Amino acid sequence: MGKTIAKEQTRAKGNGQKNDPRAIRATLARAVASRKVSDKTIDAVAGQLAQFNLRIHDLDICPQGICGEWFLTGSQLGALEDLLQVDGGLARRVDVFPHGIPKPELFHTQVTYDFDGIPRGL
Amino acid sequence: MTSTASHGASKEDAARAAGFMATRAVHLHVSRYCNLACRHCYSSSGPHQTGGVDPTAVNSALRVLRAEGYEVLSLSGGEPLLFAGLEEILREAHALGYRINLVSNGAPVRGRFLEWIVRYIQLTALSLDGAPETHIAVRGHPKAFTWVADAADRLAEAGACFGIAFGVSRRSLAAMPWAVDWAADRGAALVQFHPFGATGRGIEVADELGLSATDQARAYVTAELLRSPDGPTLQIDLAPVPLLLNGRHTYRLLSDTTSFTEQPLADLVNPLVIDEAGWLHPMSYGVAPPYRLGRCDATLPDAIASFKATGWRSVRHLLLRAFDALETERPLFADWFGHLVEVSLQYSPDLMASAPRSTSGRV
């Protein structure tokens, strides 16, 4: 989401919280709530969440940037096109696979992004 | 609204749904008396307010409404614990099988009031309007935060289920993550984020506390990020507008049916609000007077029958206008129940002139 979040994440890792999903979520939440993330970015992310009623299943920092994981049901698969078009970031990879529960229309979708200001391998 | 919302539910849940609520609830505002006079209070409550509902009349109404399908009673005010007739109402509601929730500012949570909570209340929500400095400033009392913290500790010690009702304003938005940590540290089961609404006394501080559309988006994204299976349940009273529009079918008054005489009132009006004067309103405190269903007195059964016969048309009209407004304005998120109040106040004059009205128990 930008340089500020990258700094926050670096700080979180410096506190021994490397890739702890809860720490990442909390750090991002603090950055969003304290207006350190631009209005433009927030409107874009919130627009995606609102349009498709997405639930953020998980966030992680991986060698390729920030990974956002979403659960999409059949009617929400149209969200994929939007998820691939991230302002200020590049969608690097999308994995869609059955989540392993007996609901064929439910897929576990993982979208991997690169964001400006967040170097790979962070 | 997320935890109470049914718009994203399964087909089975949707069949049971009655509007955007998972349970059928009566919201009872017992009085506007309060030990605090918060700057943003939606009901303009305070220490100089007097009066309140008639407990005997309310208990009679609760019996009628239980038979009409309502299963949850949510108590607020004013400070409901300071209402003289509260125990009488709690005892009857409990005997009738209502699950009872209560919203408090925390100050009276001690002594016999704590005993009532343990005996009768399923969930006590403590109001919090930000980190300590902001909470004190908004509540206008130097001990306001201490009262909440002490109440949380007492409730936890007593083994009572409690949550935090966090008012999200321009000043408190940044403290949302802090609030979740604070609540989790004290063993709260729930954090409910409620966006500031410019109603009641809140109109006077709307410029200072009101949320912009992007602030609402920040609040929504923040709540999404803070959800954790290990922490308190998080609820935010903002819903994505596409989701609301897709869920309009959960309102049975918007179905093709034109006869509701055989349906329980709880399927048609949910939640049902009883104000401090005993008037029954559809769905939200502050909905304009022309939409009232009746009042807590001997005329209530007739008023309900009249509503099912013809009075439902006015509430249907309100719902249609509320959905139409969302369709036209297309904000990203909306506080649905706050939106209903705004629409009701905006359109009530022409509704009065155009919609069929019943007369029993109405003004």
Of residues B279 and A69, more confidently modeled: B279
Strand partners, B74: B27, B101
Q: Using an 8 Å Cβ cutoff, are B40 and B196 in contact?
A: yes
- What residues contact A117, with CB distance under 8 A and at least 6 apart? A2, A3, A6
Strand partners, B166: B128, B193
Q: Nearest CA to CA, how far is A113 from chain B (Å)? A: 17
In angstroms, rounded to a whole number, what is the distance separating the alpha carbons of residues B155 and B163?
10
Q: Is the pLDDT of residue A116 over 60?
A: no
pLDDT value of residue B299: 96
pLDDT value of residue A98: 42
B139 is written with which tokens?
Answer: 């509540």
Residues of chain B contacting A55 with CB distance shorter than 8 Å: 224, 227
Q: Could you report the per-residue pLDDT of A15-48, keeping only the tens digit for each? A: 444 557 678 788 888 989 999 888 888 888 888 7
Cβ-nearest to A25 among B220, B225, B240: B225
Residue contact A29–B176, C-beta within 8 A: yes
pLDDT value of residue B15: 60
Q: Could you report the per-residue pLDDT of B247-269, keeping only the tens digit for each? A: 999 999 999 888 899 999 999 99
Residue of B nearest to A73 (CA): B8
Q: Using an 8 Å Cβ cutoff, are A95 and A110 in contact?
A: yes
pTM (predicted TM-score):
0.82
Residues of chain B contacting A20 with CB distance shorter than 8 Å: none
Residues of chain B contacting A, Cβ within 8 Å: 8, 173-177, 181, 214, 217-222, 224-228, 230, 240-243, 332-333
* High-pLDDT (> 90) share of chain B, %: 77
Q: Using an 8 Å Cβ cutoff, are B103 and B125 in contact?
A: yes
pLDDT value of residue A122: 33
Q: Is the pLDDT of residue B298 over 90?
A: yes
pLDDT value of residue A12: 39
pLDDT value of residue A102: 34
Q: Would you place residue B17 in the very low, low, confident or very high pLDDT band (cuts 50, 70, 90)?
A: confident
- B122 by Cβ neighbours in 10 Å (0-12 / 13-18 / 19+) ranks as middle
pLDDT value of residue B123: 97
Cβ-nearest to B214 among A33, A42, A59: A42
Q: Which helix (H) or strand (E) holds B112?
A: helix B111-120
Q: Calculate mean pLDDT across residues B103-107.
A: 97
* High-pLDDT (> 70) share of chain B, %: 91
- What residues contact B32, with CB distance under 8 A and at least 6 apart? B43, B44, B45, B46, B49, B51, B52, B77, B78, B276
Q: Calculate mean pLDDT across residues B220-249.
A: 92
Q: Could you report the per-residue pLDDT of B273-294, keeping only the tens digit for each? A: 999 999 999 999 999 999 999 9
Spatial CA neighbour of B358 closest among B299, B295, B298, B312: B312
**Could you report the predicted ipTM of this complex, rounded to two decimals?**
0.84
**How confident is the prediction for chain B on average, in pLDDT?**
90
In angstroms, rounded to a whole number, what is the distance separating the alpha carbons of residues B89 and B56?
8
HSE (CB half, 13 Å, CA atoms) of A34?
14
Q: Which residue has the tokens 């100089």?
A: B48
Residue contact A51–B225, C-beta within 8 A: no
Residue of A nearest to B176 (CA): A33
Residue of B nearest to A50 (CA): B240
pLDDT value of residue B356: 40
| Concatenated DSSP letters of B130-194 | SSHHHHHHHHT-TTHHHHHHHHHHHHHHHT--EEEEEEE-TTTGGGHHHHHHHHHHTT-SEEEEE
Q: Using an 8 Å Cβ cutoff, are B318 and B240 in contact?
A: no
**Residue type at position A47:** G
Task: Check residue B236 and report its DSSP letter.
Answer: E
pLDDT value of residue B149: 98
pLDDT value of residue B360: 34
pLDDT value of residue B108: 97
pLDDT value of residue A94: 61
Q: Could you report the per-residue pLDDT of B131-178, keeping only the tens digit for each? A: 999 999 999 999 999 999 999 999 999 999 999 999 999 999 999 999
